Amino acid sequence: LALAVTTTGFAQEGGEADAAMAEMMAAWQEYAAIGPPHEDLQRRVGDWDVTVKFWYAPGAPPEVSEGSSTVEAIMGGRYILEHFKSTMPDGKPFKGMGLVGYDNIKERFVAMWVDVMSSGLLTAESTSHSDDFSRIEFHGESPDPVAGRYKDQRSVETWSGPDTRVMEAWEEGPGGAEVKVMEITYVRR
């Protein structure tokens, strides 16, 4: 009798564990599911010519450089990985790498960026987007090595056609006012 009660208890515990495992696996599958935002990221895949404008001070003319970007889909299309190359104003080569995805729990695009001009990991999340994803606004932080801190940054990506997009960035400027610091125009090769 004791063996029958114990065996029944183990079977019930095993059933509960199996049900919990099935629920967990279903939740992870939903979290990993590819939806319209992930599918939209795929239009960034390919090779791009870029024009970079960078403003070092409000009211000053921008520094302009040319470069290239190669974007590939990774992790089954859940993310895109960008390899970016251009030239810094001092003539040295500039390299950066970005990763963008869509987080199904946060219901936001998530992005990170690393490059040869920094030692930190820049991160941002979308705060809004148009229904067709032709405009996505991100908020994050940008390093300010002179002040020794991070400051708020806002960026907006806008598509003007299937082969042209522009990313603009604004940061906290003198006195706390938002100032435009960068504009990158991507044209598909």
pLDDT, residue 126, reads: 97
- Within 8 A by CB and 6+ apart from 158, the residues are 134, 135, 165, 166, 168
On the question of pLDDT at 16 being above 80, the answer is yes
C-alpha distance from residue 131 to each of 2, 162, 168 (Å): 63, 16, 20
Q: What is the pTM of this model?
A: 0.86
Mean pLDDT over 32-54 rounds to 96
pLDDT tier for residue 2 given thresholds of 50, 70 and 90: very low
160-184 per-position pLDDT tens digit? 999 999 999 999 887 888 999 999 9
Alpha carbons within 13 angstroms on the beta-carbon side of residue 97 total: 8
- Within 8 A by CB and 6+ apart from 90, the residues are none
What percent of the chain clears pLDDT 90, i.e. is strictly above it?
71
Single-letter amino acid, residue 128:
S
On the question of pLDDT at 8 being above 80, the answer is no
- Indicate the burial class of 157 (C-beta count within 10 angstroms; 0-12, 13-18, 19 or more): buried
Mean pLDDT over 43-57 rounds to 94
